[in-house]
């Protein structure tokens, strides 16, 4: 199969994975989602989405920093065309396809060849490929032209020209087999002695078998705890019945769908907080009327302001972090949600503005 056919056939297996620290890719094998350990960032729970999975919270049940593998459990619908691990030896020169979500560009597929089927890096073998992979590809599948998983896209050499490395399928198979033999969840693999440890048996983050400090156990125990203005913003969102975990895009960015409107809230390093809703595209006609309407509405609004940027109409809330309070912040963000949902309909129906097109959810 060619690259496009591969993507179309197996796209339901491809998962986007999000944590407060970044995003990456995973893929379904059997009843689990496979990804890299560094993608889940030591979290017990991550947010996932896919073609047939809306943004949802899923559990990380296996974390293996040695292989840089993690398994995620979620009650998903089995894809029509299921991915399977290869059983064939990888050869130099084989054509391969890498699928993932680089830089948030969902379901991107790149084709290349195996430059070196077995490149030793530390104690492990990796498949060296020239298919373009970038941040966000990590954890995604590397497929053969027959659609079998030959590896997990794991890392690149920075500032190089398409030097990518994938963990071979046989390490994934080994890890899956070892994990399933235990018949329990919340397993951490010790990076030193390689034992699989039930998380409940770990005391003070030390491996009970060899005594080494387990950084993964520490991260899972601590979880993600926002502080300062970030915590205040999340408390405000929670008070408005927003599921903060699902809306969180990063440690300082949130996206909320409210009715027909989509609101992005970002906290910048300069201390500025901006809540933006991109409502619609200004029409080719009735431009003067829509401008007059927006100016008149700006006079009536409190906390919020209309603006136009590159022919998009925005409704925004802007404040400096030192001025944000729980009471005023809740009032302002609640207004932003409700007014965005109202105004997009008004502008489209009354002034024939164009409905905002949206890419697939990332």
My answer on whether 151 and 285 are in the same domain is: no
Catalytic residues: 38, 68, 138
pLDDT confidence bin for 356, thresholds 50/70/90: confident
What's the average model confidence in pLDDT over 318-329? Answer: 98
Last residue of a domain, one of 155, 170, 185: 170
Q: What is the pLDDT of residue 15?
A: 97
Q: What is the pLDDT of residue 324?
A: 98
My answer on whether 9 and 102 are in the same domain is: yes
CB burial of 329-354 (b: ≥16 within 10 Å; e: otherwise) equals beebbebbbebbbebbeebbeebebe
Look at residue 135 and tell me whether its pLDDT is greater than 90: no
pLDDT tens-digit profile of 181-240?
999 999 999 999 999 999 999 999 999 999 999 999 999 999 999 999 999 999 999 999
Last residue of a domain, one of 153, 170, 187: 170
Look at residue 360 and tell me whether its pLDDT is greater than 60: no
What is the distance of C-alpha 258 from the center of its chain? Answer: 20
My answer on whether 42 and 164 are in the same domain is: yes
Q: Return the percentage of the chain with pLDDT > 90, whole number.
A: 90
Instruction: Provide the CATH number for the domain around residue 165.
Output: 2.40.10.120
Percent of the chain that is helix, strand, coil (3-state, to 5): 30, 40, 35
Look up the domain containing 34 and give its range.
Answer: 3-170
My answer on whether 136 and 260 are in the same domain is: no
pLDDT confidence bin for 359, thresholds 50/70/90: low
Task: Indicate the number of domains in the chain.
Answer: 2
Look at residue 362 and tell me whether its pLDDT is greater than 70: no
pLDDT tens-digit profile of 243-267?
999 999 999 999 999 999 999 999 9
My answer on whether 156 and 239 are in the same domain is: no
Q: What is the pLDDT of residue 95?
A: 96
My answer on whether 18 and 116 are in the same domain is: yes
Task: Give dist(CA 198, CA 221) in Å, integer.
Answer: 13
pLDDT confidence bin for 9, thresholds 50/70/90: very high
């Amino acid at each position: 199969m060619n690259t496009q056919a591969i993507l179309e056939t197996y796209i339901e297996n491809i998962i986007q994975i999000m944590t407060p620290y970044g995003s990456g890719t995973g893929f379904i094998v059997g009843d689990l989602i496979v990804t890299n350990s560094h993608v889940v960032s030591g979290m017990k729970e991550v947010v996932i989405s896919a073609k047939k999975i809306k943004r949802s919270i899923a559990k990380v049940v296996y974390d293996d920093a040695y292989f840089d593998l993690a398994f995620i459990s979620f009650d998903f619908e089995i894809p029509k065309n299921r991915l399977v691990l290869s059983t064939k030896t990888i050869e130099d020169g084989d054509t391969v396809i890498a699928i993932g979500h680089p830089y948030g560009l969902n379901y991107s597929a790149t084709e290349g060849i195996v430059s070196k089927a077995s490149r030793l890096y530390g104690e492990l073998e990796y498949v060296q490929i020239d298919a373009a992979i970038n941040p966000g590809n990590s954890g995604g599948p590397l497929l053969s032209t027959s659609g079998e998983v030959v590896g997990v896209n794991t890392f690149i050499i920075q500032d190089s020209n398409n030097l990518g490395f994938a963990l071979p399928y046989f390490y994934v198979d080994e890890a899956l087999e070892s994990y399933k033999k235990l018949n329990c969840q919340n397993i951490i693999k010790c990076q030193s002695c390689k034992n699989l440890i039930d998380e409940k048996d770990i005391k003070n983050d030390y491996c009970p078998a060899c005594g080494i400090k387990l950084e993964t156990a520490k991260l899972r125990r601590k979880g993600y705890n926002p502080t300062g203005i970030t915590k205040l913003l999340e408390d405000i969102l929670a008070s408005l019945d927003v599921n903060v975990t699902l809306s969180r895009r990063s440690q300082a960015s949130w996206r909320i769908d409210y009715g027909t409107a989509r609101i992005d809230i970002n906290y910048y390093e300069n201390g500025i907080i901006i809540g933006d809703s991109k409502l619609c595209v200004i029409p080719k006609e009735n431009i003067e009327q829509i401008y007059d309407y927006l100016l008149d509405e700006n006079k009536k609004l409190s906390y919020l302001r209309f603006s136009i940027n590159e022919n998009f109409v925005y409704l925004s809330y802007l404040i400096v972090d030192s001025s944000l309070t729980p009471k005023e912040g809740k009032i302002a963000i609640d207004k932003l949600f409700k007014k965005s949902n109202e105004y997009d309909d008004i502008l489209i129906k009354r002034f024939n503005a164009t409905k905002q097109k949206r890419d697939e959810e990332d």
